[in-house]
Amino acid sequence: MAEAIVAAAEEARPVRVDLIRRNRTLALCIAAAVFVLDQAVKWIVTNLLQLPERLTADWLPFFRLNWVPNHGVSMGFLTANGELQRWLLVALTAAICIFVAAWLWRERRRDDAIALALILGGALGNILDRVRLGYVVDYADLHFGDWRPFLVFNIGDAAITIGVLLLVLRALLTRERKAPREKV
């Protein structure tokens, strides 16, 4: 009996490793795609549309491009007012990226790997901005009249937000239930 269990486990292992490799490959491709798309749109907004000179460009009644060099992180927290703070912020966000990449590398669930890939790709795009420019290029301003549900953001920010929301939703909705305790 024990031999049959061991044999079944050994047969299942290659399939599981192959599945993990496919999930990892998919996730790394998604992270790379988010990074490239984020940087490409930032280049278009900065160079072709010349948003730094124009400062704003209305596109739709609920969407405009606004030039916002973001020297901090999300919602203006941890604003880097000098070179030392800038590089400390780069180090902090790089450490978070390393944590996310390690988590992604070990992740077995495809949906979590995709969410982590979104976070990683967006974070790497923002880190590159901060290293090259000293700030993150934010430009997307979604608004409904005077109501702005979001701060000005970029594709990397959107990917990070979507990735985090996917992780939280999955954790809340698919949480394993503990077995009820037996009464003594």
Let me know if residue 76 belongs to a domain: yes
Q: Considering only 29-43, 55-69, 102-116, which range has the smallest mean pLDDT?
A: 55-69
Contacts for 73 with CB less than 8 Å, ≥ 6 apart: 89, 93
**Straight-line distance from the first to the last Cα atom of the chain, in angstroms, rounded to the nearest whole number:** 35
Tell me what the pLDDT averaged over the chain comes to.
84
DSSP 145: T
Let me know if residue 10 belongs to a domain: no
Q: Count of H helices and E strands in the chain? A: 5, 3
Catalytic residue among 38, 112, 141, 157: 157
Whether the pLDDT of residue 78 is over 90: the answer is: no
Closest by CA to 52, choosing from 171, 147, 133, is: 133
Let me know if residue 9 belongs to a domain: no
Q: For residue 166, what are the domain limits? A: 17-173
Confirm whether 157 is a catalytic residue.
Answer: yes
Confirm whether 112 is a catalytic residue.
Answer: no
Q: Looking at the DSSP assignment, which residues form a beta bridge with residue 56? A: 66
Instruction: Decide: pTM greater than 0.85.
Output: no
- Total tally of structural domains belonging to the chain: 1
Catalytic residue among 38, 112, 138, 141: 138
